[in-house]
Amino acid sequence: MPYGDQRQGLLRRVELEQKILQSNRFSIYAQAVYCVNRMLREANVGISEQAYRSISQNINAVAEGRLFETSASLSEARVFSRDTVSAIKAGDYKSAAITASGVVVNALGGPLFFGNYDRNKLTDIERHLYDSFHF
């Protein structure tokens, strides 16, 4: 199982929730992570150490303006891809299905959901250049 000990995976979910609640900077990304994390915690689905570290770093980077929301979501898709492969190799197909759905949600949904939000954070000249390349 990519989460190691299931209890540890659930504890990481609680820590992630606390990290978001204690943050004094708002981001749509952190709010989306909070909702999904809480839902999965209540369903007793843990999170791997590498996913926990990556998401925690992304939350900070987005809040500080060093990373766009879309980039954070795509980063999650990459980490969940690794977790999916690890779960398949371990024969844990339930975990593989859960993490594979995380890949899909983040790889497809993240850019669609966060793309316009990120666009609106650009300066006027950056937005004009962005728009000139995207019809």
- Give counts: helices (H), strands (E), the chain: 7, 0
Q: Which pLDDT band holds residue 135 (cuts at 50, 70, 90)?
A: low
Would the CA dihedral through 50, 54, 59, 60 be positive or negative? positive
Residue type, 105: V
Residue type, 21: L
Reading the block at residue 107, the tokens are 């790889």
CB contact set of 70 (below 8 Å; sequence gap of 6+): 110, 111, 114, 115, 118
Question: For the whole model, what pTM was predicted?
Answer: 0.85
pLDDT at 132 over 80: yes
Q: In sequence order, what E strands does the chain have?
A: none
Give the pLDDT confidence score for residue 108 in this predicted structure.
92
Q: What is the mean pLDDT of residues 96-125?
A: 88
What are the tens digits of pLDDT across the range 50-64? 999 999 999 999 999
What are the tens digits of pLDDT across the range 6-37? 789 999 999 999 999 988 888 889 999 999 99
pLDDT at 120 over 90: no
